[in-house]
Structure 1
């Protein structure tokens, strides 16, 4: 093995093993694949599968939690059975299959949809997406503890400097892949694709990450002949688990008997396990105890990909020359990471040290938790501003109704629970104005609950009255929902460069279609007559355009079209999310980066992987907390939920600061050296004792032989 490793090391470029270039490219492509898919995932749940916010959030965080549970499985398989190389290969294949399944799950077209754009065979799409996510979680989590360690294996003991550079480049690739993917995949998702209809291209947004994962796999396999592949040496986590299990079992077995008390409950494992191993486990457990309050930080942090993205869908993303998609706001996080990490290390921490403050790692982590809580208080303030602009949609026990009079004369209406009132005619207005509408709330009428309706009163009262279904949420992705109501006695064809509404029958209406931000021109045709009118759209609005019976085709027809605003456009700007992203990223730098450094420094030399697994477990638990709160609490006000999460983190921050106050920093190397010295001394004493016993036994044996010889003579 050593000879093989020596031969591999001869293949170098600029002093680095050529094999690491394949590993670095593999990691960049894999991280692009993972973060690209994850960036649009919650929007896929809400706008493709048509799940509500709570269910979308819950499934999203369940997936993220699984991604941080499976590294334990990957580490055990790699160290105990297959080795790192084969584990990466096999699980990458599983990973790629999962990404392909996600891309396939998002394929549908007009023949596969109903009126609201929801796929008819929804079971197929849900099953395919869930299978895909499970395979992705197994793949990305399983290879997570293997790739970085496998890259480190490619260096010799004399290449410590090159190894450090490799890890710096390795983590730069992680953030680079994350940054590029969260910019590109939302752009791909926003594209319109389809054979028969123009729809949001989730299949493309998932397909490109799938292709990148295949590229990652091919690149990694291409370097196979250049890798040093260490054989599996056994998993220390299994030894730790067995030792802890024996200590608990042994203590439980002797609970009712009189035995000398032991300083630590792990000392009950001394009958079977080495004292050095027990001392190392004690050091690990001491750090793991500090991890207890930490999952709540990840509960808040990972919501930037779920709740915060959904929040951005109700905001204005126009930055002038640049229009930001809701899921592209996540790019602020990796940009700030690449900016804040060097600033913290080179400026902030040295400045604090010069001020005479002892800013220990645990203090940094505490401040990081406070920063994350501040971020969620900021998110709550932003949500309060958004709520002021949102319409009041019907609750689960209510239905809403608005009335539009298509006649030129006022009509008196008597509704249940309301006094009689007069509905004036729909008046004409210019294109830059909108007719305000009023919705009436009902609970005990024969209307569909939790729905909005429009009642169209025809010009002849005895004719058929039309009852339409209106939008009950903001149009997806900041688009605008529009429909036409034809008050003419003849059919009219309505079209635009983006949407063709087709032929609208007399006294009838169209379903909603989505148009983008900006100015759109519509063309109306009836026989040989035609006219055009334009409308400037914002983000997230809903309009009904009424074509009156008195419409005169020609250049002045724009003044006759009535624009009815049903849902106001988004008016709160996405830039208001930047402060919350800044605080959550600053918290991440002080909490996550410092936490990993602290865990590494406090871990025994052979158990750093154990603490890494424990750290990843806190991420998984944090995501499970999100789905528990989202499904169990059912808080109707989003700003109140943000405040709840922030308050929970503040409480955990207080608990953590108390635990950190009583924590004593240790030097694992020094403790291990002391135990090794003690073990060597015990071995020497034991060896000397055996020699003395052998010498004493030899004399006794000689005396016994002489005595037996004398008795024989007699």
Structure 2
């Protein structure tokens, strides 16, 4: 589970409640009671999201009998789209629906998506993924923003409230692979997906009950209720959102289907010539680049230099997530095929990262406070360099495990655990501070746009991660089954390359640190 999900929405929601607004409704344990409804709603939603994610590639390879290449392509396309739609969902909530209606719509779509995965048919499979993509776009950015509306700006309890909420995210992410992975492997994949659907329904009911009981007060309602009801072509604007969300499903399904298929005349590889590759490379990336160039030219020297630092930080975080997101694809198959899984199955290994986040998050927070008091807190570019280096070391641990493999090409699970621990500490060096600096460094006129790009960095990272994962493919249509030792050499060879490349980017971040410090103009 990625800490970015907390840090992004935390900073956005700092501006969600008007200045001087009072906390909403009754309190519990010194916090607004609504916080705990949101805590459990998000816990169960993340349970459903990460339970399904832990099973997805394994299901495609072992049950649908897709080749590694096809499975990685679909997984990458899904990841790219699921991190792109929250930008649109957040805008629709701000301008029309409000947070509550958006959350309810997203939860319903996601519940349908999880249960549709339990039906073994291609139409249901791609339709289910499309439902999850659209539903996540409405749910994810808005439930966290709801947390911010419960606190007045400047309320000293805000950080503690988000820490409680963030723990719910990670508890859900940690438990989901354990439960859904056990059900999927022991009783059948569809039981695992069904459990994820049940988790989503529980989250939906928790949020609905909170809204019905009035613990949110008037927070999260549409800014202009009349606008939501206003009719266009005989249908209210609010209903048009639901209709267009359903209309978008087949188009997203096509994007997912072509996530691993080459379209002639585009790109040099199957991946960048796919339909999702065309959208990312030839539409989205040029548009973002042109807007950024225009913004750089327009700003004064100081703002321009700070914005350039933001662009560099976004580049480095994209590199980090591109390697990190092997967790749901190549690392999961590596665990299944080449790790002696003595007390968990391959799907359940996805719980290792959120477990370490829960374990280390508060000590890391205390460590940064201590360093700040001692005036030893590293500058942000240095933290980025150290975080990427730790991730690289984690992948080198995976690669090093090949030296201790048994005759079947399997290695001890402790190599997997140690590698994941280093990847997680790397995440804690980067993710909590990244967006904080983006919001500080970005020109105020375009801070929302830059935050949107920060979201999209995860989308591009999933796209790149899919291309990297394909380098580990050892199963394909018509190909002879490889031995355990052969697959071990393929996986660890790629992991070793990732480790060295990560170290290269860490060195680059250190080299650029003096220049970035200068261009940050006093921001640490």
Alignment correspondent of 2:412:
573
Aligned equivalent of 1:71: 86
Q: 1:324 to 1:629 in 2, by over 3 A?
A: closer
- Give the structure with the larger helix fraction: 2
Within 5 Å, give how 1:403-414 maps onto structure 2. none
CA separation of 1:348 and 1:168: change in aligned 2, threshold 3 A: closer
Task: Name the counterpart of 2:134.
Answer: 138
Q: Which residue of 2 aligns with 1:150?
A: 146
Q: What is the total number of aligned residue pairs between the two structures?
A: 424
Aligned to 2:460: 621
C-alpha contact 1:182 1:331 (8 A) present in aligned 2: yes
Shift, 1:35, TM fit: 0.7
Residue in 1 aligned with 2:509? 656
Quick one: which of 333, 345, 362 aligns to 2:365? 345
What is the Cα deviation at residue 631 of structure 1?
4.4
Query: Offset of 1:624 from its aligned partner?
Result: 0.9
Distance in 2 between residues matched to 1:49 and 1:349, nearest whole Å: 49
Q: Does 2:195 correspond to 1:208?
A: yes
Matches within 5 A, 1:326-405: 326-347=346-367, 350=370, 357=376, 359-383=378-402, 385-386=404-405, 389-390=407-408
Larger Rg: 1
**In 2, Cα distance between equivalents of 1:612 and 1:369:** 21
Q: What per-residue deviation string (whole Å, max 9, x for no partner) do you get for residues 310-333 of structure 1?
A: 1111345464xxx32122222221
Matched, 1:84 2:79: no
Counterparts in 2 of 1:103-252, with a 5 A limit? Answer: 103-105=118-120, 125-157=121-153, 160-192=155-187, 201-225=188-212, 226=214, 227=216, 228-232=219-223, 248=294
Question: Is residue 643 of structure 1 aligned with residue 496 of structure 2?
Answer: yes
- Quick one: distance in 1 between partners of 2:101 and 2:314? 32
Following the alignment from structure 1 to structure 2, what is the Cα–Cα distance between the partners of residues 6 and 297? 38
Which stretches in structure 2 are left out of the alignment for 5+ residues? 1-16, 228-286, 475-486
Is 2:319 aligned against 1:296?
A: yes
Give the deviation of 1:146 after TM superposition. Answer: 1.2
Bigger mean CA deviation after superposition, 80-89 or 166-175: 80-89
- The aligned runs of 1:557-572 (5 Å cut-off) are 571-572=410-411
Cα distance between partner residues in 2 of 1:655 and 1:246: 22
Mapped partners of 1:177, 1:343: distance in 2: 20
Q: Cα–Cα, structure 1 residues 17 and 578, in superposed 2: closer, same or farther, change >3 Å?
A: closer
Displacement of 1:97:
1.3
The residue number in structure 2 matching 1:479 is none
d(CA) in 2 for partners of 1:21, 1:345: 22
CA distance in 2, matches of 1:232, 1:282: 36
Does the residue aligned with 1:291 lie in a helix, a strand or coil? helix
TM-score under structure 1 normalisation?
Answer: 0.54
Partner Cα separation in structure 2 for residue 578 and residue 349 of structure 1: 28
* Shift in Å, 1:389: 3.1
* Cα deviation digits, residues 554-605 of structure 1 (max 9, x gap): xxxxxxxxxxxxxxxx653222212211211111111212223333443456
Per-residue Cα deviation, 1:509-534 (whole angstroms, up to 9, x for no partner): xxxxxxxxxxxxxxxxxxxxxxxxxx
Q: How does 1:426-575 map to 2 (within 5 A)?
A: 571-575=410-414
- Aligned partners of 1:59 and 1:633: how far apart in 2? 15
CA distance in structure 2 between the partners assigned to 1:656 and 1:18 by the alignment: 43
CA distance in 1, matches of 2:86, 2:458: 12
**In structure 2, do the counterparts of structure 1 residues 68 and 384 end up closer, same or farther at CA, with 3 Å as the change threshold?**
farther
Runs of at least 5 residues in structure 1 that lack an aligned partner in the other structure: 106-124, 193-200, 235-240, 252-263, 268-274, 391-569, 669-714
Whether 2:66 is the aligned partner of 1:51: answer yes
How far apart in 2 are the matches of 1:185 and 1:376? 26
The alignment yields a C-alpha RMSD, in angstroms, of 3.4
Q: 1:351 to 1:617 in 2, by over 3 A?
A: same
Alignment-derived partner of residue 665 in structure 1: 520
Alpha-carbon distance in structure 1 between the residues aligned to 2:302 and 2:372: 35
Mapped to 1, the partners of 2:97 and 2:522 lie a distance apart of 33
More strand by share: 1
Tell me: CA distance 1:216–1:49, structure 2 relative to 1, closer, same or farther (3 Å).
same
> Residues 101 and 623 of structure 1: is their aligned pair in 2 closer, same or farther, counting only changes over 3 Å?
same
User: What TM-score does the superposition give when structure 2 sets the normalisation length?
Assistant: 0.72
Per-residue CA shift, 1:334-383, capped at 9, x if unaligned?
121122223333347736985x7551122111101011111111212224
